[in-house]
Structures are given as structure tokens and as C-alpha cells.
Amino acid sequence: EAGVVQSPRYKIIEKKQPVAFWCNPISGHNTLYWYLQNLGQGPELLIRYENEEAVDDSQLPKDRFSAERLKGVDSTLKIQPAELGDSAVYLCASSPWTGSEAFFGQGTRLTVV
Amino acid sequence: GQNIDQPTEMTATEGAIVQINCTYQTSGFNGLFWYQQHAGEAPTFLSYNVLDGLEEKGRFSSFLSRSKGYSYLLLKELQMKDSASYLCAVRDSASGAGSYQLTFGKGTKLSVIP
């Protein structure tokens, strides 16, 4: 069974530029999470989807971050414009239902210069 | 909200036993997970506790006391490959019936030395 797939693995952009990350969750998993992880820290939730509905986006900086999960499968996280402080690893995870064991993708390491 | 505390770093010797503690404060507690994360890799699931007591899985065991808001992960017969960060994550009820959220602690970086 394929795991959670994220792309790209690495991204370097200049500040004020836009960037997008893509996630394909495990087939059949209704819940999808986007987490941000800084070096030496635990993952911090940005947004959680139940199918195509964003049910928890309270930690998402909505002035520059946006996300979508059309058709309740793949998801895209976008930052526009990126700031230096956005440099981090962006992790996508999915689970069969909310609160069950989450399976993580390899993450996208973003560097903003 | 949640408040999850873990030690930042620990060091232990190959072949020894190490216990990584996690304390939490939350409302609507509905389970605690432990994840392992090697440097540069994704977190992987280790264990899950929802009732008080000890869950054993090979060299790894996890304990939960809900009344004390306390859990620990016990690693036996340490191997060099166990050097990683260990993340404690608490599941609790968010808004809406049947809706839960999973919140992670900052992780404990374990170094296993020869």
C-alpha cells in the first residue's frame, strides 16, 4: 500500500515569492492534516480536513496561507507571499478517521532566502 | 487547549533501558500516541494508549495514567538505531461531536551512545 506522498521534497525560494506544496494521502483516508515543523520542535497543526471540508484551520495564517482539498482526496497548501520565517518542514498526514493513527508523508523542506 | 511537556534531550547507553516521560493538560482527553522521528524523516507511529496501564510492543512499551496526565515510553535493549526524536501526541475532542484533534509535544531527542 502506498503511503502519503508529498512533493516537492525540497524547495528554495526568495522571499515574497509564492510556493505550493502537494499531498496525496493514503487511499480511503478521510482525514488529512497539514503540519508545520521547525527544527527541534514537534509538528504544529496548520489545518485539518474531513473529506473536502476544512474543520480546523484556526492555526493557519490566513493572510498568506491557503489550502484546498478538492474532491476530498489530494490537497494543496499555498503560501503567498513567503516570508523568511516560513522556512520549515511542511508535513502532510492522513488517517482513516479523525483522531485515529496518523500516517505522515516525507515532508517538504522549504527554505526562504 | 493542550499543554504537552517532554524533556528536550536524553542520552542513554547501547543495551540499556530508557524512559521518556510526557505530561499533558487537556480537556476531553481521548488517547495518547507516541511517534518516532529520525532526523530528516517523517514521524512514524510507535504506540497508542487510551486506557490506564502499560502497552507492550517488543522492545517498546508505553504507559498511561489519565488521572495524573502522564505517560511514558520505555525503550529496552537500546540500539544505536534508536537514536531519534520521540514525539508524544495527545488526542482530544475538538468542536463538534465525534471530532478530535491531535496535538504534538515538542519531542525528546534521544542519543544512544556505545
CB contact under 8 A, A43 and B104: yes
Q: How confident is the model at residue B101 (pLDDT cuts 50, 70, 90)?
A: confident
Q: How confident is the model at residue B96 (pLDDT cuts 50, 70, 90)?
A: low
| Chain B environment of A102 (Cβ under 8 Å) | 33, 45, 102
Q: Ramachandran region of residue B101, left (φ > 0), alpha (ψ -120 to 50) or beta?
A: beta
Q: How far is CA B113 from CA A37, B10, B83, B86, in A?
A: 26, 11, 9, 17
Nearest CA in chain B to A4: B42
Q: How confident is the model at residue A74 (pLDDT cuts 50, 70, 90)?
A: very high
CB contact under 8 A, B43 and A43: yes
Q: Does residue A38 sit at the B interface (CB-CB below 8 Å)?
A: no
What gap in Å lies between CA B46 and CA B58, rounded to an integer?
A: 11
CA distance, residue A41 to nearest chain B CA (Å): 5
What gap in Å lies between CA B43 and CA A54, rounded to an integer?
A: 23
Q: How confident is the model at residue A43 (pLDDT cuts 50, 70, 90)?
A: very high
Q: Which residues is A107 bridged to in the sheet?
A: none
| Chain B environment of A105 (Cβ under 8 Å) | 42
Give the pLDDT confidence score for residue B97 in this predicted structure.
53
Nearest CA in chain B to A45: B103
Give the pLDDT confidence score for residue A87 in this predicted structure.
97
CB contact under 8 A, A102 and B102: yes
CB contact under 8 A, A42 and B44: no
Nearest to A80 by CA among A107, A92, A54, A62: A62
DSSP A108: E
Radius of gyration for chain B, computed over Cα atoms and rounded to the nearest angstrom: 14
